[in-house]
Chain A
């Protein structure tokens, strides 16, 4: 039915089967859209936020998708600026994942501001003393970069590419992609960093506050570093999931091993910095503000030392080691364990830096604020996942996302 749109030589499932899958995921998407409209039309009273706890669940989702979407800027930087040509086999998919993550982040922010019709105020009535203004500027511009990086892949659709103007446009955009990739890396450095910087400058929150360099707290650099380190792991994880669902090999082992190796070294070096930062905070910063480490991890029903151990050791140090060692990196099972742990690790880090910060009591009369999100928050947090699955499914079906697909599956077929 839609075979004229499918990349030449590629095999895809039957159109009715595809549509059934889309309908199932689409139902979840509609549930999220319904919750989103409830928040827009009835207001933020649909959430469980209050004056004491002002971060909804979706703020964690926002920071998490921005972090795991960091694979796009970092892979683009390696491919176009550092000229690591091997990554051409995965760059299209990294861009699509980044596009999904950043469009989701902007959607979440549109829900969070409660009155999206006034979203443009941040550009027109900008508070030039806020790191979040910088985040909004860079996030919007970087989404434009990702859209520009995604366009050539769309224009390479079998039918669109027959239109001469689109064919030339895709060709020309490929020619200057290094400029867009460099701009994207510049923007990502600042917005990833400023999201961490926001936590680090909150001197009224001893759990978050950090020393730093000039106006930038250490969390600024740690957030950028972690996005570059863990983002490629999410790219590898989604690639693995897509391969499992389609039953095809889509990216060659050489590319996978290379990206995993780079991610492994980035994670390991990041973890060294993160451990030093945590030790200094626990032994110097927090005590100087009148708090001991145990204050942040005891006397409540949820946040214990387990979260610190899980984030730093289990989901940080362990995947780093698994990915830098050749034997475990090239073993599909241990590599999969490593990239799953790494993805959980960066999401856990953002959880701690957003939600635990708000939960920890600061004043002597405060109590732990263990937040239970409303179903509307849960639905709007799941919404981007459903949207991402649908966009990946459509892109995989109609666009030449994986340049090695035909070659890898032809050789597999011949081996049978």
Chain B
């Protein structure tokens, strides 16, 4: 649910529940965006080294 939905209320319950949800989703989304973006950048600038290595 988003604040522009008619059911939304600016109260503690909505702030805690949805604040927590968006916080978690935001971290996961930002983390994955960073990883995918950096992987694309690394692939474009790949010099062919480092494949097959262990992490």
Interface residues of A (CB under 8 A from B): 123-126, 128-129, 133-134, 137-138, 141, 144-145, 148, 152, 156, 161-162, 164-176, 179-180, 183, 186-187, 190, 403
Q: Can you add 19 more A-B contacts, CB < 8 Å, to A171-B50, A190-B20?
A: A124-B1, A124-B5, A125-B7, A128-B13, A129-B13, A134-B17, A134-B20, A137-B17, A141-B28, A144-B25, A162-B52, A164-B42, A164-B51, A168-B38, A169-B39, A172-B35, A176-B31, A186-B24, A403-B54
Contact B31 A174 (CB under 8 A): no
Interface of B is mostly: helix
Contact B28 A168 (CB under 8 A): no
Given known contacts A128-B14, A167-B51, A179 and B39 CB-to-CB distance under 8 angstroms:
no
Interface residues of B (CB under 8 A from A): 1, 5, 7, 11, 13-14, 16-18, 20-21, 24-25, 27-28, 31-32, 34-36, 38-40, 42-43, 46, 50-52, 54-55
Contact A123 B51 (CB under 8 A): no
25 A-B pairs with CB atoms under 8 Å apart are A123-B1, A124-B5, A125-B1, A126-B1, A126-B17, A128-B18, A134-B17, A138-B24, A141-B25, A148-B31, A165-B39, A166-B39, A168-B46, A169-B35, A169-B36, A171-B50, A171-B55, A172-B35, A172-B42, A173-B35, A175-B35, A176-B31, A179-B31, A180-B31, A190-B20
B32 to chain A: closest residue by CB: A148
B37 to chain A: closest residue by CB: A172
State which of A126, A161, A168, A179 has its C-beta within 8 Å of the C-beta of B27.
Answer: A179
Q: Which residues of B contact A176 (CB under 8 A)?
A: 31, 34-35
A183 to chain B: closest residue by CB: B27
Interface of A is mostly: helix
Contact A164 B43 (CB under 8 A): yes
Q: Which residues of A contact B5 (CB under 8 A)?
A: 124
Instruction: Tell me the bound Cα distance from A172 to B7 in angstroms.
Output: 40
Contact B14 A141 (CB under 8 A): no
Instruction: Tell me the bound Cα distance from A173 to B21 in angstroms.
Output: 22
B46 to chain A: closest residue by CB: A164
Contact A137 B46 (CB under 8 A): no
A144 to chain B: closest residue by CB: B28
A124 to chain B: closest residue by CB: B1
Q: Which residues of A contact B14 (CB under 8 A)?
A: 128
Contact A137 B21 (CB under 8 A): yes
Instruction: Tell me the bound Cα distance from A403 to B25 in angstroms.
Output: 31
Given known contacts A172-B42, A179-B31, A128 and B25 CB-to-CB distance under 8 angstroms:
no
Instruction: Tell me the bound Cα distance from A133 to B21 in angstroms.
Output: 11
State which of A129, A162, A183 has its C-beta within 8 Å of the C-beta of B51.
Answer: A162
Given known contacts A129-B13, A141-B21, A186-B24, A152 and B34 CB-to-CB distance under 8 angstroms:
no
Q: Which residues of A contact B7 (CB under 8 A)?
A: 125
Q: Which residues of B contact A124 (CB under 8 A)?
A: 1, 5
Instruction: Tell me the bound Cα distance from A124 to B18 in angstroms.
Output: 10
Closest CB-CB distance, A47 to chain B, in whole Å?
30
Contact A165 B43 (CB under 8 A): yes
Instruction: Tell me the bound Cα distance from A168 to B51 in angstroms.
Output: 9
Contact B55 A183 (CB under 8 A): no
Given known contacts A152-B55, A172-B35, A137 and B13 CB-to-CB distance under 8 angstroms:
no
Contact A168 B39 (CB under 8 A): yes
Contact B38 A172 (CB under 8 A): yes
